[in-house]
Homo-oligomer: A and B are copies of this chain.
Amino acid sequence: MGLDDRKLAVLRAIVEDYVATQEPVGSKALVERHQLGVSPATVRNDMAVLEEEGYIRQPHTSAGRVPTDRGYRLFVDRLSRVKPLSPAERRAIERFLVGAVDLDDVVHRTVRLLAQLTRQVAVVQYPSLARSSVRHLELVPISTTRLMLVMIADTGRVEQRLVELPAPVPAEDVTDLRRLVNEKLVGSRLSDTPPLVQALVDEAGPHLRGAMTTLSTVLLETLVERHEERIALAGTANLTRGGLLDFQGSLRPILEALEEEVVLLKLIGEAEPSTTRVLIGDENEVDNLRAASVVSTGYGPGATIVGGLGVLGPTRMDYPGTIATVRAVARYVGDLLAQN
């Protein structure tokens, strides 16, 4: 089990070379490109140990070594420093995000930026409703039996939903409804609203009871239950870089997974404060993504987290660079949101 410093250096060198060249790396090439100070034969012995421990493997008997998922894991955890961003990258981020007029706009720009910088598939979750508070609720009469419910959250998200009323409701009553729901709900976290919504129904005057009951159902559905999360995606074309070597020949499972919002949320939505999460190959719980790695983190104004963002790519990716970029972009987006 003893992995001395040199063996770790060998592993690091293998990962770096393989990521750069995409070809299995042999002992001779290794000593040439890195100053390890020992002969190829020694490196070979180290490699044999690393292989036995499951950090690298040979695709074919007479080929060089390739890192395993476990090898990448060790590399990420102990052998790499997060690369500082180049000034050019910092400038690119700022230039890209300045001038966003809108939450939608921010999210779209962010996801494109992330895809472009990392040259991978980027995923950005809209600020989670569960973590937002109600800033305002608007009821717009469409007809006597139809209302448009518009909810504005403090994170900038705006959700709307059509409400079909059981019976015609006069304009004054709509005003009353509007006042009531705003009095009760504005300022509270969406995740805390269910009991408040229930209370609304109980407190409504008899003439509002019917309308309020319907409204409360829609409120609960829209704000709490139904696909409350939204996702933006960009850079799928980057999956085709590196020929078909990555992803073991078929993009199919990856593309399928990317179409499932639920899957994406699982990947990037479970962020903990100020951590960057790296999931490598097999560590991924989604079967379709066993050949991919995901780097994700949370973002939000200040220290609070309102959503997640990240990138997905081949296990053979530049982890230090990707991690740095994901973190930097998340921080910039957080700052941008804080300005509201």
Interface residues of chain A, those whose CB is within 8 Å of chain B, are 101-102, 135-136, 138, 140, 142, 148, 150, 152, 156, 158, 160-162, 234-237, 239-240, 250-252, 255-256, 258-259
Question: Distance in Å from the Cβ of A165 to the closest Cβ of chain B?
Answer: 14
Question: With A102-B161, A102-B162, A158-B148 given, is the CB distance from A255 to B234 under 8 Å?
Answer: no
Instruction: State how many copies of this chain the complex holds.
Output: 2
Verify A150–B135 contact, CB threshold 8 A: no
| Nearest B-chain residue to A148, judged by Cβ | B152
Question: Distance in Å from the Cβ of A181 to the closest Cβ of chain B?
Answer: 13
Question: With A148-B158, A240-B251, A255-B237 given, is the CB distance from A140 to B142 under 8 Å?
Answer: no
Question: Distance in Å from the Cβ of A116 to the closest Cβ of chain B?
Answer: 11
4 more contacts with CB within 8 A, not counting A136-B140, A236-B236, A237-B256, are A102-B161, A135-B142, A148-B152, A236-B258
Verify B152–A158 contact, CB threshold 8 A: no
Q: Please, could you name 24 A-B residue pairs with CB atoms under 8 Å apart, sorted by A?
A: A101-B161, A102-B161, A102-B162, A136-B140, A136-B148, A138-B140, A140-B150, A140-B152, A148-B152, A148-B158, A150-B150, A150-B158, A152-B160, A156-B162, A234-B259, A236-B236, A236-B255, A236-B258, A237-B251, A237-B255, A237-B256, A237-B259, A240-B250, A240-B252
| Nearest B-chain residue to A226, judged by Cβ | B101
| Nearest B-chain residue to A251, judged by Cβ | B240
Question: Distance in Å from the Cβ of A152 to the closest Cβ of chain B?
Answer: 6
| Nearest B-chain residue to A250, judged by Cβ | B240
Distance in angstroms between the alpha carbons of A136 and B162 in the assembled complex: 14
Distance in angstroms between the alpha carbons of A237 and B239 in the assembled complex: 12
Task: List B contacts of A252 (CB < 8 A).
Answer: 237, 240
Task: List B contacts of A237 (CB < 8 A).
Answer: 251-252, 255-256, 259
Distance in angstroms between the alpha carbons of A160 and B251 in the assembled complex: 36
